[in-house]
Amino acid sequence: MQELFDCLDEIYNEIVEVRRYLHQHPELSFKEVKTAEYIANFHRKLGHTTKTKVGGNGVVAYLEGAHSGPTIALRADFDALPIFEQTDLPYKSQNDGVMHACGHDGHTAILLGLAKVLNKFKSELHGTVVFIHQHAEELPPGGAITMIEDGCLDGVDVIFGTHLQAQMPLGEIGYRTGALQAAPDQFNIRIQGRGGHGAYPHQTIDSIAVGSQLISNLQQIISRKVDPLDAAVLSVTSFVAENPYNVIADSAELIGTVRTFKEETRTFIEQEMDRVISGTCSTFGANYEFKYTRGYPTLINHKEETEFIRDIARKVPSVVAVKETEPVMGGEDYAYYLQHVKGTFFFTGAQNPNWKDSYPHHHPRFDIDERALLIAAKILGMATLEYMKNHAKELQV
């Protein structure tokens, strides 16, 4: 594996350049046309069979080894977020209001750098590597499900992926068998009251008062209806009822998210929300509309492949700790891939130890320690070669 590591070390600066170029030119979910072209051209120059517009803006490239063996998929997402970047980086976003604030630029740079290096080992590869470059991870219904429907997993035996974690120390790797990330759902509630003069509240049905009470009542679902040992979150993230100072709002809009790990808990909360909303609005004499939109499923890692990545990570230079991580409430549509083929998804620490402040994902000052790109590439590269080696032997037997 030393040769693989040396080759990755040699192109580290190029991997960083790719990440910085992508960081300067972010595109929103379902609008990643130029990014997809950049990725496709990179693979074409390497001589890889390349498919574009897979399930939308997705790109899939194939590196076929000289020998028969398993087909291994590696996935990276490449969409950005509607955020105004507030960093002073020389490579900050050139697209106002759009920013790579979740590391997807880094994920893509990792995969492209690894594709270039693995291409050098083509004559030694026992199997095929499928590079899945996925669009629209940030915005449900996401890009994974349509890419799968369009055949990106056809013939794939196993899939590996990673996410750079800006608040996990550089050199630390987090893995977990079973549920790693929650199912993220969205809800929209419209409360219809009866507006009127602020001086005469008794002549109105105050939608703000209804909404305020409703928020409090909804929280009781988590604190008093869900088993405390069953992790769940219900957050109202937007409450809009704009009016002049002397007008009681006629209607109010509430938006929020529910996060769960168990499907039965997910269904229970949706049903309880409808019951609580109905009861609260009825008490005040208000009407309502309730829409509950299911997002990605819970991301559930497969045991054998997770333990395989764990053992690989322990052998990679610059990895200082490999830890079993706790589940997180953030969602990931990588979950769809794991519903179709075996595989795992792990976290790569990207927090610079010398930074005074480290900002979380989706923050306008988000950034990563770029040395994490090399660590992740080495883990995915070693995993690819080792998996081929182990399973090519099985095929021979």
Residue 291 pLDDT more than 80? yes
pLDDT digits (tens, 9 = 90+) for 224-277: 999 999 999 999 999 999 999 999 999 999 999 999 999 999 999 999 999 999
Question: In this structure, is the dihedral angle defined by the CA atoms of residues 295, 73, 1 and 11, taken in order, positive or negative?
Answer: negative
What CATH number corresponds to the domain at position 217?
3.30.70.360
Q: How would residue 393 be classed by pLDDT, with cut points 50, 70 and 90?
A: low
- Shared domain for 155 and 219, answered yes or no, is no
Q: What pLDDT score was predicted for residue 397?
A: 44
pLDDT digits (tens, 9 = 90+) for 20-74: 999 999 999 999 999 999 999 999 999 999 999 999 999 999 999 999 999 999 9
Q: What pLDDT score was predicted for residue 1?
A: 83
Domain boundary among 272, 293, 314: 293
- Shared domain for 194 and 166, answered yes or no, is no
- Shared domain for 149 and 8, answered yes or no, is yes
Q: What pLDDT score was predicted for residue 138?
A: 97
**For the residues of 207-241, what is the DSSP string, one character each?**
HHHHHHHHHHHHHHIIIIIS-TTS-EEEEEEEEE-
Strands (E), the chain: 49-54, 58-64, 67-77, 126-134, 158-169, 172-175, 178-181, 183-192, 196-197, 232-240, 247-248, 251-260, 287-293, 299-301, 321-324, 342-351
Catalytic residue among 79, 105, 206, 333: 79
Distance of CA 383 to the CA centre of its chain: 21
Closest CA to 390 of 206, 127, 140: 127
Residue 300 pLDDT more than 80? yes
The answer to whether the peptide bond before residue 141 is cis (omega within 30 degrees of 0) is: yes
CB atoms within 10 A of CB 386: 15
- Shared domain for 116 and 240, answered yes or no, is no
Domain boundary among 266, 293, 320: 293
pLDDT digits (tens, 9 = 90+) for 111-142: 999 999 999 999 999 999 999 999 999 999 99
Catalytic residue among 27, 85, 105, 137: 137
Residue 167 pLDDT more than 80? yes
Q: How would residue 357 be classed by pLDDT, with cut points 50, 70 and 90?
A: confident
- Shared domain for 193 and 332, answered yes or no, is no
Q: What pLDDT score was predicted for residue 396?
A: 52
Active site residue 105: no
- Shared domain for 57 and 171, answered yes or no, is yes
CB atoms within 10 A of CB 213: 15
- Shared domain for 253 and 148, answered yes or no, is no
- Shared domain for 122 and 193, answered yes or no, is no
On average, the pLDDT of the chain sits at: 97
- Shared domain for 16 and 135, answered yes or no, is yes
pLDDT > 70: what percent of the chain? 99
- Shared domain for 145 and 250, answered yes or no, is no
- Shared domain for 35 and 103, answered yes or no, is yes
Domain boundary among 293, 328, 352: 293
**For the residues of 28-49, what is the DSSP string, one character each?**
BTT--HHHHHHHHHHHHHTT-E
Q: Give the total number of structural domains in the chain.
A: 2
Residue 394 pLDDT more than 70? no
- Shared domain for 17 and 63, answered yes or no, is yes
CB atoms within 10 A of CB 128: 20
Mean pLDDT, rounded, for 162-187: 98
- Angle separating helix axes 2-10 and 371-396, nearest 10 degrees: 150
Active site residue 367: no
Provide the domain limits for residue 136.
2-179+298-396
What CATH number corresponds to the domain at position 49?
3.40.630.10
